[in-house]
Amino acid sequence: GPNAYGHELLGVLGELALATAQLPAWAAPRRAKRNLLTLRDEAFVRPEPLGLVLVIGAWNYPFVLVMQPLIGAIAAGGCARRAAGRAARGAAHRAAPAGNAVVVKPSEVSEHTARLLADLLPKYLDPELYPVVTGGVTETTELLTHRFDHILYTGSTAVGKIVMAAAAKHLTPVTLELGGKSPCYIDRDCDLAVACRRITWGKYMNCGQTCIAPDYILCDPAIQAQVVENIKATLREFYGDDVKSSPDYERIINKRHFHRVLALLEGQKVAHGGEADEASCFIAPTILTDVSPDAKVMQEEIFGPILPIVPVKSADEAIELINSREKPLALYVFSNNKKLINRFISETTSGGVTANDVIMHFFLSSLPFGGVGHSGMGAYHGQHSFDTFSHHRSCLIKDLKMEGTNKLRYPPGSHKKVAWAKFFLLKRFQWGRAGLVALVLLGLVAAVLIKVSLA
């Protein structure tokens, strides 16, 4: 429906447009500043394709989490030579690749999208260069024994460790987009109605199965009841009085996760929701109050439509709680107080932050999207995708003649030589102002010469 379009396709179309528009700029060699010893030389960084890339997708946003990395991997490296197609699967890291080849492994849990990708991609892309591999744990484990030049994995922390271990055997760099519990702090000084509407949107979209959904709320006990009321009101606005019959409310992906999520309600105070129906994997939007940090629901990423509220007496307590846990993928703070927001950002760490909203930092492609610690490593989106799938090769091209200054570095050594060598190595030449002055002088000289010649 429209949510799939909004959440999955819109992002992909945007990335495609950006990549095709910016590719020449991204792929161009980047010139570097030189020192006195290397003044006459060319120094630049050349983005080159890595070779063979493996993209492992997740089941919650099965299309975008495969397509966005794929776009980056295809774009990376030189564009003009991509058509040569020398990078066939096995030979990719042996020959100098003309561009990245990409093995796409969609999640088997979202089986319909996996089948769709397996059917459609080969119709639009060369299956020799961009094969789609389907299968479950066994096939993925087998796939991971092969050598790749980069692996991008989206999924759980536990499997992230398995992917990194497999990559380590081949010294393959990885980008791991994992998860965790993304905290959401609501300050007393904020527009509570707006805050709660935005939180409700981010929490319950895709039935809570979003890696950057606000996992739990931290707020002063004094505003807890109001938060609950606001969220309830918003839920009615969004899904009507009977959530189950709203066409805009999703379901849990399968029975296993249905039971996992439901079990988190054990022993908790349900302020709203809690209804479930196994047949359709339906769990109603649920709010828990007065949740203890030691509760079961606070030990793992919820990845479902359950929103615990953990009361904290102050921002200090909130920050301490956040820092005592694994680094989250996203951090959210709602407040009118800019100083407080800055404090939260400065005294914690996380993959990314959105203040006074949720999720939105994901949609700006100029921002790198990734985790830190157990929530991941590396980042992508926009140019960050291009850079992730490229090797930035430093190049220095010198003159074969001009041996003069080189003599400084050759043995036999002497103290005088050391002083000169240090002088040349340490100083760096700024063309800016000097260049401008030189240009002006040149212009003056040219003007005089022209005048003289015409006279």
Yes or no: say if 250 and 207 are a contact pair by the CB < 8 Å rule. Answer: yes
Out of 8, 15, 177, 301, the active site residue is: 177
Q: Choose, by CB under 8 A, the member of 8, 27, 47, 50 that binds other proteins.
A: 50
| Residue number with CB closer to other proteins (2 or 267) | 2
Out of 190, 196, 211, 281, the active site residue is: 211
Under rule CB under 8 A, residue 364 binds other proteins: yes
Beta carbon of residue 268, minimum distance to other proteins (angstroms, whole number)? 26
Beta carbon of residue 160, minimum distance to other proteins (angstroms, whole number)? 6
Q: Choose, by CB under 8 A, the member of 39, 137, 165, 434 that binds other proteins.
A: 165
Q: Compute the radius of gyration of the chain from its Cα atoms.
A: 28
Residue whose C-alpha is closest to residue 285's, from 250, 329, 333: 250
Under rule CB under 8 A, residue 102 binds other proteins: no
Beta carbon of residue 354, minimum distance to other proteins (angstroms, whole number)? 5
Binding mask 376-415 for other proteins (x = CB under 8 A): xxxx-----------xxxxxxxxxxx-x--x--xxxxxx-
Residue whose C-alpha is closest to residue 369's, from 350, 389, 394: 350
Beta carbon of residue 242, minimum distance to other proteins (angstroms, whole number)? 13
Under rule CB under 8 A, residue 181 binds other proteins: no
| Residue number with CB closer to other proteins (267 or 412) | 412
| Residue number with CB closer to other proteins (139 or 347) | 347
Beta carbon of residue 47, minimum distance to other proteins (angstroms, whole number)? 11
| Residue number with CB closer to other proteins (96 or 440) | 96
| Residue number with CB closer to other proteins (172 or 268) | 172
Under rule CB under 8 A, residue 10 binds other proteins: yes
Give the range of 48-56, 133-141, 214-222, 263-271 binding other proteins by CB under 8 A.
48-56
| Residue number with CB closer to other proteins (39 or 442) | 39
CA distances from 143 to 93, 129, 166 (A): 16, 16, 10
Under rule CB under 8 A, residue 43 binds other proteins: yes
Under rule CB under 8 A, residue 201 binds other proteins: yes
Give the range of 123-131, 166-174, 261-269, 438-446 binding other proteins by CB under 8 A.
166-174
**Burial group, residue 6, by CB count within 10 angstroms (0-12, 13-18, 19+):** exposed
211 is annotated as an active-site residue? yes
Beta carbon of residue 350, minimum distance to other proteins (angstroms, whole number)? 7
Q: Rounded to whole angstroms, how far apart are CA atoms 330 and 322?
A: 11
Beta carbon of residue 198, minimum distance to other proteins (angstroms, whole number)? 7
> What is the 3 state secondary structure string of the chain?
CHHHHHHHHHHHHHHHHHHHHHHHHHHCCEECCCEHHHCCCEEEEEEEECCEEEEECCCCCCCHHHHHHHHHHHHCCCCCCHHHCCCCCCCCCCCCCCCCEEEEECCCCCHHHHHHHHHHHHHHCCCCCCCECCCCHHHHHHHCCCCCCEEEEECCHHHHHHHHHHHHHHCCCEEEECCCCCEEEECCCCCHHHHHHHHHHHHHHHHHCCCCCCCEEEECHHHHHHHHHHHHHHHHHHHCCCHHHCCCCCCCCCHHHHHHHHHCCCCCEEEECCCEEHHHCEECCEEEECCCCCCHHHCCCCCCCEEEEEECCCHHHHHHHHHCCCCCCEEEEECCCHHHHHHHHHHCCCCEEEECCCCHHHHCCCCCECCCHHHEECCECHHHHHHHCEEEEEEEECCCCCCHHHHHHCCCCCHHHHHHHHHHHHCECCHHHHHHHHHHHHHHHHHHHHHHHHC
196 is annotated as an active-site residue? no
Binding mask 231-250 for other proteins (x = CB under 8 A): ------xxxx-----xxxx-
Under rule CB under 8 A, residue 145 binds other proteins: no
Q: Rounded to whole angstroms, how far apart are CA atoms 390 and 111?
A: 31
| Residue number with CB closer to other proteins (289 or 354) | 354
| Residue number with CB closer to other proteins (309 or 379) | 379
Beta carbon of residue 322, minimum distance to other proteins (angstroms, whole number)? 12
Under rule CB under 8 A, residue 347 binds other proteins: yes
| Residue number with CB closer to other proteins (168 or 263) | 168
Under rule CB under 8 A, residue 323 binds other proteins: yes
Q: Choose, by CB under 8 A, the member of 186, 207, 218, 355 that binds other proteins.
A: 355
Beta carbon of residue 274, minimum distance to other proteins (angstroms, whole number)? 21
Give the range of 220-228, 302-310, 366-374, 443-451 binding other proteins by CB under 8 A.
366-374
Yes or no: say if 416 and 21 are a contact pair by the CB < 8 Å rule. Answer: no
What amino acid positions are annotated as catalytic residues? 177, 211
